Amino acid sequence: MYGTIEVFEPFHYPPVIGDAYSLIPGCRKFIFQDCRDKYSNIPKLFGFTNVPTSAQ
């Protein structure tokens, strides 16, 4: 399967043909939704899910 990889910061060394890599799921910063839907981990969340923002 081929696709696009979006990284948060640029690579220190640019990837070249033949490089090997491993991908792991990360946090999209949608704390409650990711913990609930992706990881089923609400009991261990310890996050601040109800902090008001200017977007509300």
Domain assignments of the chain as residue spans, ordered by start: 26-56
Question: Region 21-38: what's the mean pLDDT?
Answer: 72
Question: Region 10-36: what's the mean pLDDT?
Answer: 79
Going by C-alpha positions, the residue among 8, 5, 47 that lies closest to residue 30 is 47
- Whether residue 25 contacts residue 38, with contact meaning beta carbons closer than 8 Å, is answered with yes
* pTM for the structure as a whole: 0.34
- Would you give the distance in Å from CA 20 to the centre of its chain? 20
Question: Region 13-41: what's the mean pLDDT?
Answer: 77
Task: Return the amino acid letter for 42.
Answer: I
Tokens of 29: 């910063």
pLDDT at 28 over 70: no
pLDDT at 38 over 70: yes
